[in-house]
Amino acid sequence: MNQTTPLNRKLLVLNGANLHLLGKREPHIYGTTTLQDIIHRLSTTAHQHGIQLDHFQSNHEGDIVDIIGSQGVLADDHDKFDGVIINPAAFTHTSVAIRDSLLASGKPFIEVHLSNIHAREPFRSHSYFSDKAVGVICGLGDMGYDMALAWFLKNLYKTNGVHS
Ligand code: DQA
């Protein structure tokens, strides 16, 4: 499929473990914006551009693998997502399974982290996703999700960017 003319226009936003706690979880690191606020903002922007945005957060690795499979490889063409914005959270540093499911989908994905994972504990510097991601955004707080969406709008959907 030519990625500049997607059949569906659907982005999948995935958030891993503990990100449902955003706003309350270590706000000095992750900020005070809730996940609900972030998703509301992204959905509004995506809809303004005629893009469907599906969101899924889970604390369970296998659930994320299942969602990527069922909305990717296993979905009918008109139901498939055509890109993913993912903050794998702690799974960033552990999950070959989620990496493999994204690769199986064959779709572009952008890796987002609220914090700068390279300026924290050494184990956070390694990501199972970065070498396969279109790009990695980290350390810019929740704005990172908007920037990832802006990339998809401009480069995959060829719209005029995030703001309409
Ligand atoms: C995180 C960074 C990860 O190291 C951590 O496990 C998270 C959140 C971030 O957004 O900064 O849960 O992905």
Q: What is the pLDDT of residues 23-41, one digit of tens each?
A: 999 999 999 999 999 999 9
Nearest CA to ligand 1 atom 8: 89
As for ligand 1, residues whose beta carbon falls within 6 Å of it are 18, 87, 89-90, 92, 113-115, 117, 124
Instruction: Please list the alpha-helical segments (H only) found in the chain.
Output: 27-30, 35-48, 61-71, 96-105, 143-151
Mean pLDDT computed over every residue of the chain:
94
C-alpha–C-alpha distance, residues 110 and 146, integer Å? 11
Q: What is the CATH number of domain 10-156?
A: 3.40.50.9100
Query: Contacts from 116-120 at CB under 8 Å and sequence distance 24+?
Result: 117/92
Global pTM reads 0.94
Nearest CA to ligand 1 atom 2: 89
